[in-house]
Amino acid sequence: MINLSTGAFYERTTRQIGSLRARAESLQQQIGTGERLERSSDDPVAAARLRMLGRTERLADVDSRNSQLAEADLSLTDKTLGSVADVIVRVRQLAVQAASSTLSDEQRSAIGVEVASLRENLVVLANSRNIAGHALFGGQTAGAAYVDNGTTVQFVGTGNATPLEIGEGQSVEPSLTGPEVFEFGTASGPSDLFAVLGDLASALAAGGQGAIDASSAALADLDAGLEKVTTAQTVVGSRLNWIDLMSERRENNAERIADERSDVGGADIAVTMTRLQETLTVLEASQASFVRLANLSLFSMLR
Amino acid sequence: MASDLLSIAVSGARAARGALDVTAQNIANASSEGYVRRSLRIEEVSASGGAGRIGDISLSGSRIAEIRRNADPFLQGEVRRTSGDLERANVELKGLRNMESALEQSGVFTSIVEFEAALQQLAGDPVDPSRRAAVIGEATTLANKFNITASSFDAVGDGLRFEADAQVSEANIIGGELARVNLRLTRAGSGSSDRAALLDQRDQLLERLAGFTSVTTSFESDGTVAVSLGTNPPRSFVQGGTSGALTSAVAADGTLSFAVDGQAVSPGSGSLAGASLALTELASARTRLDTIAAGLADAVNNAQAAGVALDGSPGQPIFSGTTAGTLQVVMTDGEGLATAPAGAGAGSRDDANLSALRQSLASLDPAQQLSGLLFDVSSKVAGRNVTQSALETIASSARVSLEQQSGVDLDAEAANLIRFQQAFQASGRAMQVASDIFDTLLGIGR
Q: How do residues B289-308 score in pLDDT, each as one tens digit?
A: 999 999 999 999 999 999 99
Would you tell me how many other CB atoms lie within 10 Å of the CB of residue A143?
13
pLDDT in tens, B154-192: 999 999 999 999 999 999 999 999 999 999 998 887 777
CA–CA gap between residue A257 and residue B241 (Å, rounded)? 69
Q: Would you call A60 helix, strand, or coil by DSSP?
A: helix
Phi, psi of B326 (to 5 degrees): -110, 0
The pLDDT value recorded for residue A77 is 92
Task: Give me the residues of A, 95-114, that contact B with CB < 8 A.
Answer: none
Compute the nearest-CA separation of A174 from chain B (Å): 10
The residues pairing with A165 across neighbouring beta strands, listed in sequence order, are A171
Task: Give me the residues of A, 21-60, that contact B with CB < 8 A.
Answer: 39-45, 47-48, 51-52, 54-55, 58-59
**A132 DSSP 8-state letter:** T
Question: Of the candidates B395, B327, B314, B432, which has an alpha carbon nearest to the alpha carbon of residue B77?
Answer: B395
Q: Parse chain A into domains and list their residue ranges.
A: 53-260, 268-303
**B265 DSSP 8-state letter:** E
Domain A53-260 homologous superfamily, CATH = f41 fragment of flagellin, N-terminal domain (1.20.1330.10)
Cβ atoms A294, A25 nearer than 8 A? no
Alpha helices (runs of H) in chain A, residue ranges in sequence order: 6-33, 44-99, 105-126, 178-182, 193-206, 209-265, 269-295
> Are the Cβ atoms of B97 and A41 closer than 8 angstroms?
yes
Best residue in A1, A3, A52, A168 to probe B by mutation, most B CBs within 10 Å?
A3
Percent of chain B with pLDDT over 70: 96
List chain B residues with pLDDT less than 50: 1-2
**Which chain B residues touch A295 with a CB distance below 8 Å?**
none
Cα–Cα distances in angstroms (integers) from residue A37 to residues A19, A20, A43, A50, A261, in the given order = 19, 19, 7, 10, 11
B28 close contact with A: CB closer than 8 A: no
List chain A residues with pLDDT less than 50: 1
pTM flag (> 0.90): no
Cβ atoms B114, B142 nearer than 8 A? yes
The pLDDT value recorded for residue B58 is 74
pLDDT in tens, A232-254: 999 999 999 999 999 999 899 99
The pLDDT value recorded for residue A133 is 83
The pLDDT value recorded for residue B55 is 63
